[in-house]
């Protein structure tokens, strides 16, 4: 049985070994990880969201979704990076954060788009390219669109 102490021990180091932690803790830890992800300490919450993304599965999605709606922007960046690792399960978070008010979050949302994005994500990128106010984010969108395989 995984304890809160086990989860805290895994994410407490300045540079946690997320892969090892995800492997050793597994799905069973997600309810405990959710508590930490929803907590007041942004650093702990960020580490918990990152770990949830690596553990993956359906139970990780709500943890990442809540973080994607949180303040500060740093937590939304962690959430969109974690969502990118979930494939199609994370697309809703990526889609929402492509239009975030923070340019840094939008930049990471573009990076989180998978290699085989849905037609919806492709359309969102195309639409976003036309209205994006940040030059760096716009360049990232253009690059991402150029490097995507043709839809079909």
* Sign of the dihedral through C-alpha 56, 74, 5, 38: negative
Cis peptide before 58 (omega within 30 of 0): no
DSSP summary character for residue 59: T
- Each domain of the chain, given as residue ranges in start order, spans 4-147
Q: Quick one: pLDDT at residue 114?
A: 86
Q: Any idea which fold 4-147 has?
A: 1.25.10
Q: What digits encode the pLDDT tens for the residues 25-54?
A: 999 999 999 999 999 999 999 999 999 999
| Helix ranges, 58-102 (H) | 60-68, 73-84, 91-97
CA 90 – CA 113 distance, rounded (Å): 9
Q: What digits encode the pLDDT tens for the residues 66-99?
A: 999 999 999 999 999 999 989 888 999 999 999 9
Closest CA to 7 of 60, 58, 57, 44: 44
């Amino acid at each position: 049985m995984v304890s809160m102490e086990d989860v805290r021990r895994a994410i407490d180091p300045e540079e946690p070994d997320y892969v090892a932690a995800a492997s050793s803790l597994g799905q069973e830890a997600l309810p405990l990880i959710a508590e930490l992800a929803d907590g007041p300490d942004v650093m702990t919450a960020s580490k918990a969201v990152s770990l949830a993304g690596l553990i993956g599965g359906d139970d990780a999605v709500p943890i990442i979704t809540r973080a994607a709606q949180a303040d500060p922007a740093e937590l939304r960046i962690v959430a969109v990076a974690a969502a990118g690792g979930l494939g199609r399960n994370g697309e809703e978070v990526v889609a929402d954060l492509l239009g975030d008010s923070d340019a840094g979050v939008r930049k990471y949302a573009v990076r989180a788009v998978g290699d085989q994005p849905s037609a919806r994500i492709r359309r969102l990128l195309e639409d976003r390219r036309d209205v994006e106010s940040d030059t760096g984010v716009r360049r990232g969108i253009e690059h991402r669109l150029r490097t995507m395989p043709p839809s079909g």
